[in-house]
Structures are given as C-alpha cells and as structure tokens.
Amino acid sequence: MTNWMLWIVIGLSSFLMFFTWLLRKKNPFSKLRQLDAYTQLQEQNLAAFEKGKRLIFGLGGQSMLNEVSINDISGLPVFSRLSRQIVNGDQVPQAYCSDGVLACLSQSILDGVYKNALIPELFSIESTLLVGANNMSFVAGLLTEINTDSNDGLIMFGSLKPEALLAVDLAHRHNLYCQAISDSPSAQAIFYAAGCQPVIGEEYFAAGASLKAKPIYGISLRVQDVIRILIIIALLVGAIVKLMGLY
Amino acid sequence: MKKKVSVILAILVGLFTLVAILLRPFFDLYLNLILKLGIVLASTATLVGIANLMLTHLRRVSTGKRGFFFSLIVLLGFLVSFIGGLYLGHDNPGYLKWVSSIRIPLEVSFFGLLALTLTYTGVHFFRTKEWSPLSISFGGSVLVFLIVKSGLVQGLENPIVDQVLAFIQRLPVAGSRGILIGISLGALITGLRVVFGLERPYGE
C-alpha cells in the first residue's frame, strides 16, 4: 500500500471514529448483534463465581520470537471485564500469557481492578504469569495449569495457532467450559470443530463491544462495519469497471 | 499525575511513530531509535515475566504445593540453560546443539500429539455436532477439500473436472481474503484506539 493510501485509510478511520462518537456517545451498544461466544463468557464466569471456582485465561499465543501482533491486546478488555465481575470471589482471577509485554499489561490491569474494588491488598503478582516464549511452550505451560481443582473453565484469547487445540481438548476432557478465540482463520476453524462457540473473522474484535466493556469498543465496531461496506462497494465498482474494460 | 504522564507519553510516541512511518524516509533515523527503545522495553518486560515465573515456581517448591515436582523441573531446566548460556555464550555451537537436542524431540512429539488430536477432533465433529447451516457448510467443505486435496479426482484427467477443481481451489483464497480484510481493519482500528489513548491497556 502506498503512503497516500495509508493516509486516506487512517484519516478516514479517525474521522469516522470521531463522527460515530458524536452520533452514538449516548447509546454506543444499541442494535449491535450479540455473539453467543461472548455472552456465554459472562454467564460462565458468574456460574464459576457461584461455585467458588474461576475461569482461567490464556492470553496471547503469538511467539515472542516472531513479529509483534497488536491483535493480542484485544483479549485484555475481556480479562479486565471478567476479572471485575469476580474480584470478590473465593478464587483470584488468573491469566497465563505468551509474551512478557502482555504479562506486564495484564498484571497492570489486574492491579487496577483490585485498586478500583478498594481491596489492593488481595492483588498477587502470581495472578498473571508468562508461561512460554513460543506457541508450543505457551500451550505446554497452560496444559499443566488446567488440571487445578479451582478451575471451572478456560478462556483463550489472542493470536492463537492450531497448537492451542491441545489445551482445548484437555479442558473438554476435564468437563471444563472452554472458549478459544483466535484471529487466525485456520485456528478459528479448528476451535469450532473442537466444540467452541464459533468466532469467525473480524468477530474476534467484537469482544469489548459484546461485553460492553467501554463505549469506545461499540463505536470502533461500528466504524469497522462502515469501512467494510466502503471496501465492498469499492471492490464491486472496481470489478465492474474492469469487466467493462474501462481500466 | 503518574497515570496522566504515562498516557500522554504513550499518545505522543504513538502519534510520532505513525507520522514517521507515513513520512518515510524523512524520519527513518528517529524511527530506528524508537524501534530500538521498543525492543529494549519489550525485552525488559520479558525479563520481568521470567523472573515472576521463576519466583512463582520457587514458592511452589518451598511450600510443597501439589505438582511442585514439575516446578522443580522448570527451575532446574531454566537454571541449567540460563547458566549454560551465560557461561558458554548464547551462540556457542555446543550449547545450541545441547539445547536443540532437548527442544526438538519435545516439539516433534508435541506435533505428533497435535496430529492425533486433530484427527480425533475431526471425527468427533461429525459424530456430535448438531445440524445447523454453519455446521453443515463447515462439514461439507471439509469433505470436499479432503477429496480434492487427496489427488484422487485429479487422476481422472478430464478437462471439465480439472476446470471445476481449479474453481473449487480458488474458493478458499477468496474467502480467506475477505476474512483477512476484516481482521486487518480490526487491527487498524485497535491500533488507532491505542495511539489516540482511547484504549489504555497499560493502566485501568
């Protein structure tokens, strides 16, 4: 993509975000389609809380040795929102990360959750751990933590690769609730086949809006939809122009 | 105040990086500097993460928590490879060979296990999934591509069949392109949220 196209895309996205915020700041989540994969997360989280158990989080999945993916941080609003729900529970929220930066960020989020709940003394640095430096070691580290009695389910969120199926399979064998959400189309297909609720393509980015974590997530989801419609129109016009031999 | 400073710093660095990328090659010198600073910060975060993990395992061993034996193995493995790397150097051929001789068989066996689990999951999907438009289309396309990719139909050497096969094989490319456009848009919007300080994963 040339620089002027990047300018246009970024400028248009920024303008649309500002414009949508002006239009929708009072009801950012109205008429947004609810996704079962995300609505179930809250229900299962509260069910675990009632039982005196917890859901554990597997965040990330991207190998530290490869390129950095901003998609990994999309799991943080989910972690923050669900942790806030169970902050007073018998079990502390627990996250296992595949990356040092993600581990530090999730620790910072959890620290904030406890401070906001006015119980900062309950925060423990053991609640968020870096368990592996590549995809395989992340899954291997996660496998050993799934077996704990205090767990009622596993939520995996990030740039997961098909290897994460091993963790999903183990969770199912222990009759634990399991939801794995990835931005990789191949991993999405595998998780669906393994019995997780389907999350297809860009639905990966709808987590914050579905959980109503912050108004900005609803606004950015609407902006994504508008830009997608513009791209579809551009593709159709381009195809017609090419068919007519005009370009 | 501390929170505000970190937010302002993050926004300024984000905006500068964005502008520097768009106005390349004018700001390449500064872009490289920011990239190097980013690498240093990420490496520090990784070190903090590793230290935290080791402390947690040390605590598990010292309190005799269930499964502490595995923690002991983690600690010993880390210490041996860490001290080995420091003493011999991380690019020492002997050290690399020694680490690889443990890591590669483990990864290969992991992949073997994954292949088995994938097969089992595939069979399980057809046995237990309820009928829905998504499950039918998913299951149908899995069967079609299994047959197409197996090479059985190509053996017929029929030009019409070959044309149909070529069309079918183009379908996943078109589909995945659509999905990737959506995912790229999502990544772009997430990036903009962070750059403008609307999403602050670095503090609640």
CA distance B194 to B198: 6
Provide DSSP, chain A: --HHHHHHHHHHHHHHHHHHHHHHSS-TTTTPPPPHHHHHHHHHHHHHHHHT-EEEEEE----TTS---GGGGGGHHHHHHHHHHTTTSSS--EEEESSHHHHHHHHHHHHHHHHHTT-GGG--GGGEEE--SSHHHHHHHHHHHHT-TTEEEEEEEES--GGGHHHHHHHHHTT-EEEEEES-HHHHHHHHHTTPPP--GGGGGGHHHHTT--HHHHHHHHHHHHHHHHHHHHHHHHHHHHHTT--
Q: Give me the residue label for tokens 């990036």.
A: B191
pLDDT at B19: 86
CA distance B133 to A173: 27
Chain A residues within an 8 Å CB radius of B198: 17, 216
Size of interface A-B (CB pairs under 8 A): 175
Name A46's Cβ contacts closer than 8 Å, sequence gap at least 6: A85, A86
pLDDT, one tens digit per residue, over A142-159 is 988 888 888 999 999 988
pLDDT at B116: 94
C-alpha distances out from residue A173 to A61, A167, B127, Å: 22, 10, 16
By C-alpha distance, the chain A residue nearest B68 is: A144
CA distance A233 to B96: 53
pLDDT at A2: 61
How does residue A63 score in pLDDT terms, banded at 50, 70 and 90?
A: low
The answer, for A13 touching chain B at a CB cutoff of 8 Å, is yes
Q: How far is B162 from chain A (nearest CA, A)?
A: 25
The answer, for A119 touching chain B at a CB cutoff of 8 Å, is no
pLDDT at A148: 84
Chain A residues within an 8 Å CB radius of B203: 108-109, 112
pLDDT at B204: 57
Is the Cβ–Cβ distance between B49 and A103 less than 8 Å? yes
A129 vs B56: CB contact, 8 Å cut-off? yes
Q: Is the pLDDT of residue A68 over 80?
A: no
pLDDT at B91: 85
How does residue A190 score in pLDDT terms, banded at 50, 70 and 90?
A: very high
User: Mean of the pLDDT values across residues A44-61?
Assistant: 90
- Please tell me which residue, B156 or A58, carries the higher pLDDT value: A58
Nearest Cα to Cα of residue A187 among B183, B143, B106, B174? B183
How does residue A135 score in pLDDT terms, banded at 50, 70 and 90?
A: confident
- Please tell me which residue, B117 or A62, carries the higher pLDDT value: B117
C-alpha distances out from residue A101 to A105, A108, B43, B78, Å: 6, 11, 8, 20
Q: Is the pLDDT of residue A183 over 70?
A: yes
Chain A residues within an 8 Å CB radius of B192: 10, 13-14, 17, 220
Give the residues of chain B that fall short of pLDDT 50.
none
pLDDT at A241: 93
- Which B-chain residues 38-57 have CB contacts (< 8 A) with chain A? 41-50, 52-53, 55-56
The answer, for A87 touching chain B at a CB cutoff of 8 Å, is no
Is the Cβ–Cβ distance between B195 and B8 less than 8 Å? no
Nearest to A169 among B121, B181, B194 (CB): B121
Chain A residues within an 8 Å CB radius of B202: 105, 108
Q: How many CB atoms sit inside 10 A of residue B79's CB?
A: 11
Sign of CA dihedral A135, A141, A147, A150: negative
pLDDT, one tens digit per residue, over A81-111 is 999 988 888 888 899 998 888 888 899 899 9
CA B163 to chain centre: 36
pLDDT at A145: 87
The answer, for B196 touching chain A at a CB cutoff of 8 Å, is yes
Nearest Cα to Cα of residue B46 among A204, A59, A79, A99? A99
Nearest to B189 among A7, A77, A224 (CB): A224
User: Mean of the pLDDT values across residues A37-66?
Assistant: 85
Name A193's Cβ contacts closer than 8 Å, sequence gap at least 6: B121, B122, B125, B138, B142
The answer, for B108 touching chain A at a CB cutoff of 8 Å, is no
The answer, for A182 touching chain B at a CB cutoff of 8 Å, is no
The answer, for A231 touching chain B at a CB cutoff of 8 Å, is yes
pLDDT at B11: 87
pLDDT at B66: 78
Q: How many CB atoms sit inside 10 A of residue B131's CB?
A: 8
The answer, for B134 touching chain A at a CB cutoff of 8 Å, is yes
